[in-house]
Amino acid sequence: MHRKTAWSENRKDDKGEMSFSGMVKEELSRQIGLARHCKMAELAAILCSCGKMECFLGDSKLKIQTENEAVARKCFTLLQKTFNIETKIFVRENSHLKRVKVYTIEITDPEEIQVIFQALRLVTNSIDQGTLVLSDMLVVQQNCCKRAFIRGAFLASGSISDPEKGYHFEIVCSDAKRAEQLQTIIRSFSVDAKIVQRKKSHVVYVKEGAQIVDMLAVMEANVALMDLENIRILKEMRNSVNRKVNCETANLNKTIEAAVKQIRDIEYIRDTVGLDYLKPTLRDVARLRLDNPDMNLKDIGELLDPPVGKSGVNHRLRKISETAQSLRGE
């Protein structure tokens, strides 16, 4: 049963928290363009995604249907502010997903429908009967209108992934022509939007983090933009620290492995032929290494008389290793 209702909060996850995509849409739903032509561009984008003409027993009506409350609220506001049209808003539960609400706005007055179609340059889609498409690009001639159109398209059929997990921005279009129109508009802002076909839909998407920041700027989602930038900075810092730690750990492991091998070689020489078998310069290094297994090469070199640099100690330890290999018959 349909019922008129007050607006409720956007759907939340099991923890009661709104998704990042939901927060972006909530912010955009409260953003109303100052100029009438911008309101028209945004409304055109929403109607192209959620609108449909239905005919029954000779009567026609324009039906806008969405599962997102923010989209329905924005559409309701734009119809009122742009065309002074008061509409009926219905809410029902999705027949397949009981927890999901479906928001519906209906316009039944033929004159109001005609005014909307003419002003927004809308026609019914010959491919997908009843759905709406732009007859031309007059509603998105100016940059401000292009921003508004992208904002409306994202509100109606877009999503953005949780930036803590990855970067992905997309807007789903019902056909290739609509996707190409949207791609052209997005690319006018120097954002490299691509298109991929997914089942029967065509998806306009952006993957790179910095370009998704640009998309939020284009749509004027300034709060979400700052949140995303903060997350990006933290992720880059964490990644930088992790790389440094991993590099230092790898170097430490190499140093430990080298020290263990050096001690094994020295012990083998000591137990087979004795350390006196080595030249005095090598013997001194060998004894210092046995007595100081955790000491780095620089410190070992400073204990020698006269002191020797790190490279000199390393050279002598290689000579000791070669001697051990020779005694093993390797």
Long-range contacts of 205-209 (CB under 8 A, 24+ apart): 205/168, 205/169, 205/170, 205/171, 206/168, 206/169, 206/170, 207/167, 207/168, 207/169, 208/167, 209/163, 209/167
Please answer whether residues 146 and 188 qualify as being in contact, where contact means their C-beta atoms are separated by less than 8 angstroms. yes
- Please name the CATH architecture into which domain 20-220 falls: Roll (3.10)
The pLDDT score that the predictor gives to residue 114 is 92
- Mean pLDDT (whole number) for 280-309: 88
Q: How far apart are the first and last CA of the chain?
A: 88
**pLDDT surpasses 70 at 148:** yes
- Mean pLDDT (whole number) for 180-193: 94
**How would residue 11 be classed by pLDDT, with cut points 50, 70 and 90?**
very low
pTM above 0.75, yes or no: no
- Mean pLDDT (whole number) for 205-212: 92
Whose structure tokens read 């070199």? 301
**How would residue 96 be classed by pLDDT, with cut points 50, 70 and 90?**
low
Q: Convert the pLDDT of each residue in 46-64 to its tens digit.
A: 999 989 888 877 788 899 9
Cis peptide upstream of residue 306 (ω within 30 degrees of 0): yes
**pLDDT surpasses 80 at 94:** no
**How would residue 8 be classed by pLDDT, with cut points 50, 70 and 90?**
very low
**pLDDT surpasses 90 at 294:** no
- Residues shown for the chain: 330
**pLDDT surpasses 70 at 7:** no
Domains of the chain: which residue ranges? 20-220, 242-328
Please answer whether residues 106 and 63 qualify as being in contact, where contact means their C-beta atoms are separated by less than 8 angstroms. yes
Q: Convert the pLDDT of each residue in 58-92 to its tens digit.
A: 788 899 999 888 899 899 999 999 999 988 788 88
Mean of pLDDT over the chain = 87
Instruction: Report how far residue 11's alpha carbon sits from residue 4's, in angstroms, rounded to the nearest whole number.
Output: 18
Q: Convert the pLDDT of each residue in 230-284 to its tens digit.
A: 988 888 888 888 888 888 888 888 888 888 888 998 998 899 998 888 888 898 9
Q: Convert the pLDDT of each residue in 114-131 to its tens digit.
A: 999 999 999 887 666 678
The pLDDT score that the predictor gives to residue 97 is 64
Rounded-to-10 torsion of CA 20, 21, 24, 29: -140
**Strand ranges (DSSP E) for 151-250?**
158-160, 169-173, 194-198, 201-206
CA-wise closest residue to 119 among 182, 199, 62:
62
CA-wise closest residue to 132 among 120, 148, 145, 146:
120
**pLDDT surpasses 60 at 185:** yes
**pLDDT surpasses 90 at 140:** yes
Instruction: Report how far residue 221's alpha carbon sits from residue 216's, in angstroms, rounded to the nearest whole number.
Output: 5
Q: At what angle do helices 209-219 and 222-272 cross, to 10 degrees?
A: 170
